[in-house]
Amino acid sequence: MAGTDSSFGVQIHSEVFQPASGATEGDAVLLVSGADSHCTRWTSAFIQPLLDLGHRVVRYDHRDSGLSTKVPADVGYTLADLADDACAVMDEHGIARAHVVGRSMGGMVGQVMALDHADRVVTLTLLCSSPGLGDESLPSAADWLVDRMAERLFAPPPAGQAERVAWIVELDEMFAGTRYPVTTAERIRTAVAEVERCWYPESGHGPAVNSSPSLLGRLAAIAVPTLVVHGTADPVFPVEHALALADGIGNSGLWLVEGLGHEVPDGLVPALLERIREHLGGGS
């Protein structure tokens, strides 16, 4: 574990996992979480197979999440700042270049890295992500989800542990598809662990995404091999967002998963890792 000082004076909590046989510098994999999401959402089911392949794996909490610095509400930041944080984490662990795997907002951070820090990225994997908001050519989230999220936004933040756990479980269930069901008991265990670890509902991740320009017009400049994975039942970023990523990035592959929502459940991991393994090998 490490605490990284980013260029903005933010302490970033990160965790590094070493393969038993060791790995070369270029074999590192950087896992970039989604908005308001702890790095522990990258589970051992995802990490261990990468270690078995000889990769060094790093996961970290974004600023305003988990064990990293909570930024005052009046201090704004953007996806570019979050990309700088990611590079600072790599520096902390002596990693010059890495395979970057990002989910949701983490995929947007990965795109910024591949554009503005291209020398740091070997390959890019984008899971349930988007080139960004604010572009009218791409559809917004499902109407029912927008309405429900607005209700949550204007409701008082949950106070006690039970209320916070229920808040997280409800959000996960709203995002989920039907392809890989997760039991309520499993969701509760995940939520309890996050609340006890340091859940922070007032993060600025949403404003960071909303205040950052869409990357749609810059995608052609991403030169690294890119894998786009997206669910056909994603209510946050409709499938058109994945199509835009795959169409805009020249050296890219697309896997649309029928019935998958805005999620990376452990049930998806075996098939996903088969594709990621081939993808990482192609970028070496």
Q: Which helix (H) or strand (E) holds 57?
A: strand 57-60
Angle at 171 between CA 137 and CA 125, to 5 degrees: 55
Pairing of strands 57-60, 98-103: unpaired
- Domains in the chain, please, with CATH? 2-139+202-283 (3.40.50.1820)
Question: pLDDT (tens digit, 9 = 90+) per residue, 150-167?
Answer: 999 889 889 899 999 999
Under DSSP, is residue 218 helix (H, G, I), strand (E, B) or coil?
helix
Share of the chain above pLDDT 90, in %: 83
CA distance linking residue 97 with residue 184, whole number of Å: 39
Share of the chain above pLDDT 70, in %: 94
Average pLDDT over residues 160-186: 96
- C-alpha distance from residue 23 to each of 19, 40, 202 (Å): 7, 22, 38
- C-alpha distance from residue 49 to each of 53, 79, 100, 230, 267 (Å): 6, 29, 16, 21, 14
Question: pLDDT (tens digit, 9 = 90+) per residue, 27-46?
Answer: 899 999 999 999 999 999 99
Question: pLDDT (tens digit, 9 = 90+) per residue, 55-114?
Answer: 999 999 999 999 999 998 788 899 999 999 999 999 999 999 999 999 999 999 999 999
- Please give the pLDDT value at position 199: 81
- Please give the pLDDT value at position 27: 80
Q: Is the dihedral of CA 232, 34, 1, 25 positive or negative?
A: positive
